[in-house]
Amino acid sequence: MSIQHSASNSEIEQYFPLIIAHVQKRVTLSPSEQQSFTSLLKMRKLLRRQFLVQAGEVCQYESFVVKGCLRSFYQDAKGNDHTLHFAMEDWWISDFGSFLTGTPAQRHIEALEPSIVLQIDKPSLEQLYQQVPAFERFFRLLHQQACLAQDQRILNDISLTGAERYQAFQEKYPALVQRVPQKYLASYLGITPVFLSQIRSKKAKPGPKILN
């Protein structure tokens, strides 16, 4: 079971400029609208390998990462992990299906590093839509971006070799390549850790191209 850590007002308030700057990349907020938004946020601290969400429990929050790195993964009947997403600073993460429908989550979300997230629950989000209509546009744009990224990942899985998928991931998310353990990155790319190690060795030493 995950552990909840409470935070003082001053502690959470230091992270408000980060999430406001993130939102205002997509929509413009007045000072009063910013206040309406931040008043609905909660802060959660996670230790390394601590769960933000566990499969079987309802995901009650959309979570914005202000510090750290997390991953979501599905665990099959044989106990094998299948990494679905990563999230680092300035990204959101949740089990959106569970959050939206109130049904049990099908995935786990765990911290890969000590992490801090700002969270908003569904009732607060509905309240926010009423108080600040710009947030309906903000979250629509956010989810559209997520859908486009997911579609591209599916196409990459179909059309690219393992080495090409790694190259595409490295070009798009260079910071994540440095922070995510190799076994989780390999799981995300649908290749073995040994093969990923070979790809990295080949990239470090120019030579014949590896095909998967």
What CATH number does the domain containing 22 carry? 2.60.120.10
Angle at 66 between CA 16 and CA 32, to 5 degrees: 20
pLDDT tens for the chain, residues 1 to 212: 444 444 567 899 999 999 999 999 999 999 999 999 999 999 999 999 999 999 999 999 999 999 999 999 999 999 889 999 999 999 999 999 999 999 999 999 999 999 999 999 999 999 999 999 999 999 999 999 999 999 999 999 999 999 999 999 999 999 999 899 999 999 999 999 999 999 888 876 655 554 44
**Residue 156 within a domain:** no
Range of the domain at 63: 9-133
**What is the rounded end-to-end Cα distance, in angstroms, of the chain?**
39
Indicate the number of domains in the chain. 1
CB 50 within 8 A of CB 110: yes
**Residue 176 within a domain:** no
**Residue 211 within a domain:** no
**Residue 212 within a domain:** no
CA–CA dist 201, 178 (Å, integer): 15
The one-character DSSP state at 81 is E
**Residue 166 within a domain:** no
**Residue 106 within a domain:** yes
CA–CA dist 95, 108 (Å, integer): 8
**How many angstroms separate the Cα of 212 from the Cα of each of 111, 128, 154, 183, 189?**
30, 47, 17, 17, 12
pTM for the whole structure = 0.88
**Residue 83 within a domain:** yes
